[in-house]
Amino acid sequence: MSPQSESKRPDGSAILVTHAMQLLTLRSASGGTGPRRGAQMRDLGIVADGAVLISDGKILAVGTTDEVAKHELLASKPAHVEEIDCSGKVVLPGFVDSHTHPVFTTPRLIDFEKRSSGASYEEIAEAGGGIRASLRGVRDARTEELVQHIVSGLDEMAAYGTTTVECKSGYGLNFAAEMKSLEAIREASHQWPGTVVPTLLAAHVVPPEHRENPDEYVRIICEDMIPTAAKLKLASFVDVFVERGAFTMEQSQRILRSAVDHNLGVRAHVCQLTPAQLSPLLEFHPASLDHMDFVSDEDVALLAKLDTVSTLLPAANYFLGLDKFPPARKLVDGGVAVALATDYNPGTSPTTSMPFVLSAACTHMKMSPAEAIVAATYNGACALRLQGRKGSIEPGKDADIAIFEAEDYRELAYWFGVNRCRQTLLNGTVYFQGGNSH
């Protein structure tokens, strides 16, 4: 397959997507602007024979093909209109992958092989594998090498229909390598036509040189890394891995407090391997809490009242060979806003495919296909606080659109291990032309 980019088009030109068998607009039936929960997660706002008119990277009009054809821009006979005929296809907002770790250099094949012979995540970390195994590659790499790795990950994501990606640092684990990782994310975001949201995850694990004194590493994060990332506008969010073997709740609070003090958004990896009480994190108003495999019933009730999204990452459970998956039904039925993301990373989730995540969510977490699509688009945008621009196909929003070879939206979660995405529009740039070329 050969991604192909057309970033420049003539002035006054437009793109007209027509005849979508099902256009999933995800427009809000209630007009609400918060994350979707409960029954709202089953409403895709489907238009049959749907069309979308796009100009200057923004959506101008949405409706049936007949309705959109009457738009004044088309009546005024613009210099150039590129029509994309979507007969027999499903068109939806591009996926928002709100949790990825793309700044690494090599796959972790030793970990993979060890795990397939029975070793656990924690046993592998104890043996020097795990997150620390990616550290050397990132510390030694030149920024340009990291940029290349990130862009190739982003290109793959676009090929699967993803248009917005949150990118975390977190394999550098010292000041220089974390800042280099964030700079690489920034450069990659300039080279890729989609939208990238950078996150500082220096608090991924404690690096070996601070193993005897983890609080010193926490101090460096709070006093050096966060202020610098904020000052240079290298990160929108700060993330922390709250877990046995990573950071304690108290250390995590120190880090999140520093983030809030520097006007950065906050998010956390929590309840992945062991249960944790969430209230000490919720006081920082996180945009999202991620993994949530071990969330308690009391915390589900608490989250149902908040706009903090719970981002579930079933591809990690799949790859780790776990029997248990994140409790999506408990969360959705409890009124919590749920998002889905890939957790793309070399250790626990080496996939760039949101359609695979949809499949895992439906087969292993018993989400409905509609719930999974809302979680992978609009609620993903909420997890990045970008729902004003992303996550639905509505006039005024960014022209982020995925076109799938499917006649029914349920097929998006039904086919797995194959790519049925045929075209992706990233901020109005027609990026991936798939088809049968591979």
Between CA 77 and CA 75 the distance in angstroms is 5
Own/partner pairs for 4-11, CB < 8 Å, 24+ apart? 4/431, 4/432, 4/433, 5/193, 5/429, 5/431, 6/429, 6/430, 7/193, 7/429, 9/80, 9/82, 10/79, 10/80, 11/79
Within 46-85, the residues that bind Zn ion by CB under 5 A are: none
Is the CB of 243 or the CB of 343 nearer to Zn ion? 343
Is the CB of 299 or the CB of 343 nearer to Zn ion? 343
Is the CB of 17 or the CB of 361 nearer to Zn ion? 361
Kindly state the smallest distance separating residue 233's Cβ from Zn ion, in Å. Answer: 23
Kindly state the smallest distance separating residue 341's Cβ from Zn ion, in Å. Answer: 9
Q: Which two tokens stand for residue 390?
A: 């992303």
Q: Is 81 helix (H, G, I), strand (E, B) or coil?
A: strand
Between CA 164 and CA 328 the distance in angstroms is 23
Between CA 65 and CA 17 the distance in angstroms is 8
Is the CB of 344 or the CB of 409 nearer to Zn ion? 344
Kindly state the smallest distance separating residue 89's Cβ from Zn ion, in Å. Answer: 32
Kindly state the smallest distance separating residue 99's Cβ from Zn ion, in Å. Answer: 6
Kindly state the smallest distance separating residue 103's Cβ from Zn ion, in Å. Answer: 12
CA 114 centroid distance within chain: 28
Site string (338-357) toward Zn ion, x via CB under 5 A = -----x--------------
Site string (216-255) toward Zn ion, x via CB under 5 A = ----------------------------------------
Is the CB of 343 or the CB of 405 nearer to Zn ion? 343
Kindly state the smallest distance separating residue 416's Cβ from Zn ion, in Å. Answer: 22
**Residue at 346: amino acid letter:** P
Burial 212-251 (b: 16+ CB within 10 A, else e): eebeebbebbbeebbebbbeeebbbbbbbbbbeebbebeb
Q: Which residues pair with 237 in a beta bridge?
A: 199, 265
Is the CB of 50 or the CB of 346 nearer to Zn ion? 346
Segment holding 28, helix H or strand E: none
Within 16-45, the residues that bind Zn ion by CB under 5 A are: none
Kindly state the smallest distance separating residue 101's Cβ from Zn ion, in Å. Answer: 6
Kindly state the smallest distance separating residue 353's Cβ from Zn ion, in Å. Answer: 16
Q: Which two tokens stand for residue 110?
A: 């030793």
Question: Do 200 and 235 touch, CB atoms closer than 8 A?
Answer: yes
Kindly state the smallest distance separating residue 168's Cβ from Zn ion, in Å. Answer: 7
| Cβ count within 10 A of residue 208 | 11
Q: Which stretch binds Zn ion (CB under 5 A): 277-285, 324-332, 335-343, 372-380?
A: 335-343
Is the CB of 89 or the CB of 269 nearer to Zn ion? 269
Site string (259-288) toward Zn ion, x via CB under 5 A = ------------------------------
Is the CB of 98 or the CB of 392 nearer to Zn ion? 98
Q: Which stretch binds Zn ion (CB under 5 A): 253-261, 318-326, 337-345, 394-402?
A: 337-345
- The residue with its CB nearest to Zn ion is 343
Is the CB of 23 or the CB of 131 nearer to Zn ion? 131
Q: Which stretch binds Zn ion (CB under 5 A): 138-146, 274-282, 336-344, 409-417?
A: 336-344
Q: Where does residue 75 rank: exposed (0-12), middle (13-18), buried (19+ CB within 10 A)?
A: exposed
Residues near Zn ion (CB under 5 A), total: 1
What secondary structure does DSSP assign to 163-199, as a single string?
A: EEEEEE--SS-SHHHHHHHHHHHHHHHHHSSSEEEEE
Under the rule (CB under 5 A), what is the footprint of Zn ion? 343
